[in-house]
Amino acid sequence: MREGGRHRWFPYVVIAVLLAILAAGTTSNLIRNPQPRLVADGIPGRSATHADSALGSGEYDDLVRHALADLDGLTLPNGALLAGWDGPWRYVWPRDASFVAVARCAIGQYDEALKVLSFLDRIRPSTGRWEARYTESGGKVADGRPAQLDGSGWVLWATWFCRSGDRYWDLVSESADQIVGELGPDGLPGPSSDYWERPEKKVTLGTVAPLLTGLRSAVRIATEQGHPAEAARWQSGLDKLSAATDRGFGPDYPRTPAVATSFVEPGVEPIGVGGGADAIVTVLGPPFAPARDAVSTAIDRAHAVLTQPNGGVTPGESWRADGVSWTPQTALFALSAAARGDRASAETLLKWLDQHRTSSGALPEKVNRDLEPAGEAPLAWTAALVVLADTALQNPLPTP
């Protein structure tokens, strides 16, 4: 009787032990990743009434109006576009500035966009990679962060989108040549930091995706401006990088190149095993690149994988597992959905962003597990992406 009882209770003991281990792991993770809180809310003295109330699709008028007012406040008289108003955010990232210039041009605010592009032109590197970020006067930030290759792609896209290739031809030529010069024998660039803002040992999709968009934009600019030699050279680099990206990252386009491939059953599309899903996969599709079925499938898969319990999106599958959503990545998926014609998904994400603004109406950097705004607010990258997503719901955005 005693022997039989032990066998009967043994599975329950095992389950209890496993649950205890899981609970301990969850507790440990929450200790390592405490709830982020709001650092700052709004720009002192800034009111949303400065923005044009006619902008926006109607349903998102207030959201877009606040986003544009915040971009007004974050753009200094010299054209420096601050990522945020306070502390470590009060710098100019080429990526953020490029997105803001594109957002401005998308709604016809060309003068404001050219201020930002002119600042980028003044600080451009004549050789080498763009810095990760710059001071508001255009100087380098002495914080040990390495220069980042993705900046070359972002600024090319913004220059093409705003039809300013003739005005900023030196910026175009130097950035495009830098990208081509970085491509190795395998067609891919070497490791570089990207929007995750950390050192990398492998090349990431966060670098490759904007470089593809940048080279595609550079080819368009060179062709339109009558520079056939440059157009041919950059097209050759684009073809090389495109083929290497599909070969190394396809078919599911994870953060780092796939190191193994799994076939579920005959006739089923293979799944590459790499660095996990990354929100930057959105940049492989519209409005950054022509639509492809394989890429759309990868984007939808990444969205499903990266959606957090609070409804927003985390940057990557291998990102810290803290249940916190990041608004730039959530807005990237909103823009992608809008540009690909998935209106329902785009509106769902825009509504989520609208509902999780701060008390001043600003879009925060994050939304924590308690559905509270967290991090810096406003954040320029998110504001620009919201404007672009709303615009894409109304009219197709140009795609290089």
**What is the model's pLDDT at position 54?**
46
With 70 as the cut, is the pLDDT of residue 207 above it? Answer: yes
23-37, 132-146, 235-249: segment of lowest average pLDDT? 23-37
**Which of 58-72, 287-301, 303-317 is predicted with the least confidence, judged by mean pLDDT?**
58-72
Match domain 75-249 to its CATH number in 1.25.40.10, 1.10.8.590, 1.50.10.10, 3.40.1010.20.
Answer: 1.50.10.10
When mean pLDDT is compared across 50-59, 148-157, 243-252, 362-371, the lowest value belongs to 50-59
pLDDT surpasses 60 at 26 = no
Task: Please give the C-alpha separations between residue 17 and each of 2, 4, 25, 301, in angstroms, as whole numbers.
Answer: 22, 21, 12, 33
Instruction: Among 108-122, 167-181, 249-263, 283-297, name the one with the lowest average pLDDT.
Output: 249-263
- The residue-averaged pLDDT of 36-64 equals 73
Average pLDDT over residues 57-74: 92
Q: Output the pLDDT for position 2.
A: 36
Q: Tell me the pLDDT band of 346, cut-offs 50, 70 and 90.
A: very high
Average pLDDT value for residue range 277-295: 98
28-32, 157-161, 175-179: lowest mean pLDDT where?
Answer: 28-32
Span 255-278, average pLDDT: 71
- According to the model, what pLDDT value does residue 50 have? 46
What is the pLDDT averaged over residues 98-116?
98
In this structure, of 3-7, 199-203, 310-314, the range with the lowest mean pLDDT score is 3-7
Q: Could you give the CA distance from residue 140 to residue 142 in angstroms, rounded to a whole number?
A: 6
* pLDDT, position 315: 98
Residues 195-207 have a mean pLDDT of 96
Residue 261 pLDDT > 60: no
Q: Would you say residue 219 has pLDDT above 50?
A: yes
What is the predicted pLDDT for the residue at 40?
83
Identify which has the larger pLDDT, 335 or 16: 335
Nearest to 313 by CA among 273, 285, 344, 350: 350
Bridge-based pairing of strands 366-367 and 373-374 is antiparallel
Domain borders along the chain are 75-249
pLDDT of residue 384: 98
Residue 44 pLDDT greater than 70, yes or no? yes
144-171 average pLDDT score:
97
Over residues 66-93, mean pLDDT: 97
Better pLDDT: 185 or 27: 185
- Compute and round to an integer the Cα radius of gyration of the chain: 22
Residue 82 reports pLDDT greater than 80? yes
- Average pLDDT over every residue of 17-21: 49
Q: Which long-range contacts (CB under 8 A, 24 or more apart) does 217-221 make?
A: 217/156, 217/157, 217/159, 217/160, 217/161, 217/400, 218/156, 218/160, 218/172, 218/175, 218/176, 218/179, 220/160, 220/400, 221/156, 221/159, 221/160, 221/165, 221/169, 221/172
Mean pLDDT of the chain: 90
